[in-house]
Every structure is written in C-alpha cells, then in structure tokens.
Structure 1
C-alpha cells in the first residue's frame, strides 16, 4: 500500500508542468492543508526542490539525485519492473533482503537497492566490494513461468543488458566474460549473481543480483583488486548519475526480459556472443578431471560454454575453471 508521501509525490509528478493547489492535494490525500505543508517541508529536507506560489499551489521543480524508492520511480517508464522498490542505506547484501521479501510474497519485478553493501557476494561466495554511493548494488525479484533448468539463461540475459547499457556511453566498450562478468579494458566492472528457490518443476522465485562499479576512483578499490577491477569513472574520467543508470538498466532489463519470454533464448545468445570476451581465441580450461587449451567457440542454446575439447571437437561446459588471461 502506498504511503501518503508516495501518493503526494505521484500527484506532483503527474502535474509536473503545472501547479496543483493545496486544497486539491488535501482532498486527494484526505489530509489537512497544514499536513500537506508539513509534507512539502519534509520533501525539501530530502532534496526535492518544491516551488510554492500563493493562490496557485505547489509543483516539483527538481528531484534529488540521491537514491530512494521515490527518486528511482520518478521518470521510470516501466510496465512491471520497480513498481515496488525497497531502498536501504546499508545492508550486508541486497540478495539477503530480496530473499526475505520474496518469501513474504513481494511481487514480480520488485527491486532491492542499497547505497552500500557491507558483505556483498558474487559467484562461488566470492566477496564483492560495494563502496557507499559509488556503484549500483541491486537485486531484482522475478517469478517467471519457465522450467527451473532455464534459470541460468537469465544470468546471460542480464549480462547482455548491462553490456548494452554501458555500450550506449561514448567511448565505453564492454565485453562479457563467461558467464556473467562485464569487462572494461579487460578489467571487471560488473558481476551478476543469480539465485533461485524452486520445486522440481516450478520456480517460486529467481533473484538477479547486480553489482556495477560506477564512480569509484582507483583509491576506492582495495589494493588486492586494483589490477583486476575498474569502474565507469576510471574508464571515462567523469562522474555519473547512479540513479539515471539504474533507471536505464531497469528499462532495458524489462524490454529484454519480455522479448526473451516471447521469443526464447536465441536472440540473447546472439547478443551475448557479440559482446563475448575472447570468442575465437584459445583459453585454458580446467575441469575436475582434465586440463587443456582450446578455442572458445561461443555459447550453446542452453547458455553453456562451447569450446574445443582435448581432441579438438566442440564440447559444452556448464562449469569449469577458465584461465582467461
């Protein structure tokens, strides 16, 4: 259920090109005009620029760039994603919050976003450094009607969305390192963690966790990852609006997800291979039983890595240690 404040912001947003009177707001929200005035004061303290004129009323002139559920929703043109936004200033991991929300029946498309993660995690329980207000730390709750064995395709879909969004910025040329790392200049700038709760033939929910380094300087990265990680700011030399990139990312994700549910995985596979790191080149592969060097051929229709086997024949790998560099 929307709070009075959310409803107030929505009313102001719907009337952004004109003033709306205190009386009209009072009647719509079923609160006193004095309460409307107090809400306006509170919005001002949060960074909203409210213009008030006698006998005309109020209008929002500018929204704050800092993250909140309202600023993310403001200007976001979506059909289903981020209709529910859970924003936290600091959490151990947005995935933890998203699991809890999903178990409490948070709807499809709910997002959890944080200014900071104190214990962010990536694949195989690796630590993800999530500096305060420097990047995008976000989880998306999905409830797709699809077989559980297709869930890994959503990781690859998300990677193509991130690559597309980054590729839209001038001078930025992302590549995807299988299955889910986004590289700029061969350094990691984003990762994706997909987790699922499912029964044998039915998905209860899927969480897509995204970590994207935006405004880190090199000093913001710990010494142990400075040679392996980067950020949009490091690569472009300028600061970026995290809120704006979140909105672009969510819009692109919704479009791509809807097309995937309609048309299947093949268009995602083609786009992934367009951005694929080291496709056509030799990579070193280690499985539980073997170690060899073979050409990276692309990904399969299921999203597995396609490479040459020891005998030089195409082989699918669903899990392996790859020496990419």
Structure 2
C-alpha cells in the first residue's frame, strides 16, 4: 500500500496522542510549506478524520474514521513483525483466499490481510460465515514458523488465547474458548478461527490463520438461522467497540504468544487455554466423520488433542469434531 504524505501526517498526529502540533512544526518535519500542511489536513478531514485547529497551538487529532485501513492501524501497532506488512481491500470473497495467494507469491512473515466485507466468508468444514460490512474484523495472518507440519493445529489454540486476551483487554468482557476454534460470549459464538497450511517436503511454507470476529453487529445483522447462536461484542457489552484498537491488541497478543510457543513449547499456553475453556470438565457430544462419542472433556494434550472420557472409562483423543455441550 502506497503511504502518501497525507497519511504520514495522519500517523504523526496519531502518535502525538492528543498533543497539539503546530503547522510550522509539521511543515519543518515533512519539509513542506505550511500551506501544504493545511491542504493535507483538509484531505484527511474529507476522509473522515476529525482534526481540531487551535489558534497559536496547532492541530489536534480528535477522531479517526471507522475503517481498518493500514494507515490507521499501523501507527499505533506494538508488534515487531506481525502487521508490519498489511494488505487491505474494501471487499473480497475471503481474506483466506487472498492470503493464500500472497503467501504463494512470497509475502513477508507476519503479513496481515484485512477487509471490510467478505462475500464468501467461510469457517471450518467450508461453512458459510456472515461477514457484515464494517461491523466486524475479517482478517488473515500469514506466518512462516520454523516448526514441523504436525505442530500446525496448535496455532489455532495459540490464536484463540490471543483473541480472548484482546477481547478482555479492549472490552472487559469475559469470553470463553470452545474447542477447538470458537470464541463464545454467554454461550454464543462471536469469533471463529480457521488455520490452513501451505507445506511441501521441506516442511511448513506458510500458516494462514483466518480470524472472523463479530464486533459491532446488532441482532438484525445476522441471518435468521444463526440469530440464536451468534453474538457480537457490542451485543454482549452494550457498547460500540473500537475495531482498530481491537486489531492492534489482537496482533500484539498473537505475536507474543506465537513467540512464546516457538521458544518454550505449548506448556504455558495450554494452561492459559484451559483456563478460558468452556469445554473442559463438561459433558459433551463429539460428532466426527465416522462416529459420535459422548463423555466428559478432561483436557487437551500438548498437541491440542481433546481428551474425552466415555462412560465405559476409555479415554479418546479427538482430533477433529463438532462439539455440542450437554449440560
């Protein structure tokens, strides 16, 4: 994405965090005239930025437009790698599709794909995912970790911990994780995570983690068939949520926990994951391709496999299933 002088100026105003910046100071920093500064400020206002001009003090950024454009997300991003490269489109079939293409073309480790609207959003098992425009976070993150392909499924669990930490941090809500990839609020799904793999004989070439988060939807934004099971952060909190702040928090935690996992393994993250789990200790029904099992979910292994104990006392490892809570 081409960063213009106008958006570099926006970045500078964001970094000032409410401090007034004089037109002369900005002119000196950007090596342009004060008239040019004024013109760039007007351009930003036309884009939806709210900028106050105070005589003899300068410009103060009051609000930014509700968009996930990199020019707004990146200036306050606190990561060292994830999100340093961002691809943003107003609309696309799916960020996963776009991310796969970028990964094959060699895009950098940590590249993030963001959109305001998905026309063919999807979850696990090719299920359709409602992606209301400008109401949620529709995002894919491309990682290139030096791990064996068998470790790929654990990144879904790592991402789940990052998601709940970000939601807690920004909204003070208390989300739960339903194994393996759903984030729940009051028992209803607000976020789905889809991890896909590009690999060859040499190992993992790219991990593509898709995250779909319902943020500011109201009930009517969801199709009738999912209204009983879907939730948004706004519906749970009663307040509009800042999507930009949420993206920054999510990417920060994803980077922190990904690094922790690569450096120290899954042990500490497993404890964190189980602490947020709505599944562990519950009676569940696990529907798999060839059989359905019922029992108590006792925990997950270091590989992220769900441990299900059936009434006959046997412990089963569940690698992939639809989980239904029974109590």
Using structure 2 for the length normalisation, give the TM-score. 0.88
Q: Which moved more, 1:47-56 or 1:225-234?
A: 47-56
The answer for the alignment partner of 1:199 in structure 2 is 200
The answer for the alignment partner of 1:19 in structure 2 is 21
Matches within 5 A, 1:181-192: 181-192=182-193
The answer for the alignment partner of 2:66 in structure 1 is 66
Distance change in 2, residues 1:142/1:185 (3 Å): same
Distance change in 2, residues 1:262/1:59 (3 Å): farther
8 Å Cα contact 2:151/2:303 also seen in 1: yes
Aligned length: 323
- Cα deviation for residue 75 of structure 1 reads 2.0
Matches within 5 A, 1:207-226: 207-226=208-227
Q: Deviations over 1:7-61 (max 9, x none)?
A: 4444445566453555x766765767665543332112112244567898x6452
The answer for the alignment partner of 1:253 in structure 2 is 254
| 2:224 alignment partner, SS class | coil
8 Å Cα contact 1:159/1:176 also seen in 2: yes
| 1:74 alignment partner, SS class | helix
8 Å Cα contact 2:93/2:118 also seen in 1: yes
The answer for the alignment partner of 2:98 in structure 1 is 97
Q: CA RMSD in A?
A: 2.6
1:264 aligns with 2:265: yes
Q: Which moved more, 1:74-83 or 1:177-186?
A: 74-83
The answer for the alignment partner of 1:132 in structure 2 is 133
Q: Deviations over 1:147-185 (max 9, x none)?
A: 111111110011111122223466622211110001111
User: Where does the alignment leave 5 or more consecutive residues of structure 2 unmatched?
Assistant: none
The answer for the alignment partner of 1:77 in structure 2 is 78
8 Å Cα contact 1:196/1:203 also seen in 2: yes
CA distance in 2, matches of 1:14, 1:163: 27
The answer for the alignment partner of 1:318 in structure 2 is 319
The answer for the alignment partner of 2:44 in structure 1 is 43
Distance change in 2, residues 1:185/1:144 (3 Å): same
